[in-house]
Amino acid sequence: MNGVTDLPLLSLLVVLPLAGSAGALLAGLRGSRQGVLWISGISLAAQTIFAGWIAAYTGVHGTVREVVGGWSVTTGITVMIGPATALVLLVVLAVALAIHVYAAGSPPEGMVRTTVFFVVYGIVVSGLAATILAEDLFNLFVSLEVVSLGAVVLVAYRRTPRSMIAALRYLVISTVTIALYLVGLLILYRQTGELGISRVAQALMATPPAGRAVPIALALIVTGLTTRVASVPFHVWLPDAHSEAPHPVSALLSGLVLKAAFLALYRVYLAFAPAMTSLVPILMAMGAVSALLGVILALAQRSAKRLLAFHSVSQMGLILVGIGGTGALVHAASHAAFKSLLFLVVGVLATRRGTADIYELRTAPAGKEPGRWEQAFFLIGAGAIAGVPGLSGFVGKGLITTSVRSVPFLQLLVQLVSVGTAASFIKLGTAFFPRVVEPAAATTTPPSSNRLAPLTLAGMAIPGAITILIGVAGGIHAGLFTVAKGGNALATLAIGAVLFRLLVSSPGKSLAGGLSGVRLGLDSSLTAILLGAVVLAMVV
């Protein structure tokens, strides 16, 4: 393949966390909790360091690949990555390491449960790397299934009725949509005799498809991928899974699992868009609906975690709107960092107070109020997602806005979503800057300390630092630090503050209560997904 450099051992990005999981399992069987934490953590650290080297190497040599086991390109398992994707992968793996550190600061009670958590966590991270590296459609399917099955275990980890139901819902929906993906894969294979993404695309370009078989196949594959990206109408699994999972798992799902799925979709988009030109406007339209609907539903939520979950739908929608440009990849990396940070810092607050209800968190007993570090990390994450200059979200949104400047409707959409996002996080900010009340005199239980454990602090510091680094370096490189863009950001925040005041008025609360109560059952969710697949097959 022209322009591709062979790089042995690229597959170590997949193997290292698997080896760490195996080592952690052995340590767990020997009864060593510290062994479980250290072995799994060191393997993820080694993976992240290697990913940094890969990113630097691709920056000099361009796209690299490895045919695993020394097989030929046509028969072997090929892993491949280019310079831009390698940088996003580096961010994903660095955040995965940070989430591990955060979780290690307060590991689950019981030796068996600790072992299971970190073993499965390593398997999921390995699957994320494999998903991003996969160069053929069948191995992409295998990688997605590894991630999905591991994620189901982690979502159900607390074994509460709600988490078990959310995990089952996730499992059923992912099984149905991956079956649609497999049908599409089979059709493409029968049409082209190839499984490699680039080779299938080349075959379609050489012999333009006749009839509807190939468009239907592509629609089914896109359905499988956009379900994991949580694009409307395939997003219905996400709010419950993200909100009911343990806090580190919520960060993993929203920050990383969605990004790996997007990068897989991005690779399919790059390969097939030249042969299927209708794919681009369809993905952008799905992104526009997701961005707007996600932020509207986020505004209505009382639960901090459900608010963050619906914002994942919205932000992934923005990424799809900009899928044709650099802004999509930049915002994907940005979202991996700041959304993980937000879930982690909300997790600290919800654990201390025993609730994630924003309205209940607006007042706090002395000693249980958010500490300075939590407030600082919240401001970094909230500022990033709201597009404050100097933080990563400002860069991603700025580049996406620039890429759609020829479509005024999409530019307006980005602005509306930004206003709604600002209002949402002003609302959530009331939980991090609450009215502190002294405990009643009769209270005999002393208030708990709001000091953070060192590992918890370190786990939030890593994505926080990445958010600032992308914001500053990316903003300078892209030339986004202008008076006009800064003024636009301030105006967005001001309008968002006005919208927040409307939200907390009596009519606003009534409307929000109605919207937050709208939830689809599993049968309705599957119906929405299947209808979406049918419509997609008709218009591709």
Residues 302-323: pLDDT tens digits? 899 999 999 999 999 999 998 8
Residue carrying the six token digits 């968002």: 496
Q: HEC states along 244-259?
A: HCCHHHHHHHHHHHHH
Closest CA to 150 of 180, 130, 135, 177: 130
Please state, as a whole number, how many other Cβ atoms lie within 10 Å of the Cβ of residue 412.
11
Q: Which amino acid is at 294?
A: G
As given in the structure block, the two tokens for residue 518 are: 């709208």
Mean pLDDT of the region 271-289:
84
Note the pLDDT tens digit of each residue in 14-45: 999 999 999 999 999 998 888 999 999 999 99
Predicted structure pTM score = 0.92
Name the packing angle between helices 258-272 and 304-321 (round to 10°): 20
The pLDDT, as a whole number, for residue 233 is 85
68 sits in which H/E element: strand 64-68
Residue 236, CA distances (Å) to 204, 218, 520 in order = 33, 22, 7
Residue 168, CA distances (Å) to 160, 177, 241 in order = 12, 14, 9
Residue 215: asked if its preceding bond is cis (omega within 30°), the reply is: no
pLDDT band at 354 (very low <50, low <70, confident <90, very high): confident
Q: How big is the CA angle at 235 (ends 410 and 162), to the nearest 5 degrees? A: 145
Where in the chain are the domains? 1-135, 136-435+453-539
Say whether pLDDT at 537 is over 70.
yes
Say whether pLDDT at 444 is over 60.
no
Q: Which amino acid is at 420?
A: G
- What is the residue-averaged pLDDT of the chain? 87
Instruction: Give the C-alpha separation, 85 to 474, whole Å.
Output: 16
Say whether pLDDT at 447 is over 70.
no
> Which conformational region is residue 365 in: left (phi greater than 0), alpha (psi within -120 to 50 degrees), or beta?
beta
Note the pLDDT tens digit of each residue in 373-398: 999 999 999 999 999 999 999 999 98
Q: Which amino acid is at 419?
A: V
Determine the distance from the C-alpha atom of residue 14 to the mean position of all C-alpha atoms in its chain, rounded to a whole number. 19
Instruction: Give the C-alpha separation, 67 to 18, whole Å.
Output: 19
| 333 and 429 Cβ atoms separated by less than 8 Å | no
Mean pLDDT of the region 504-532:
77
pLDDT band at 446 (very low <50, low <70, confident <90, very high): low
Note the pLDDT tens digit of each residue in 61-87: 899 988 887 777 777 788 899 999 999
| 99 and 251 Cβ atoms separated by less than 8 Å | yes
pLDDT above 90: percentage of residues in the chain: 45
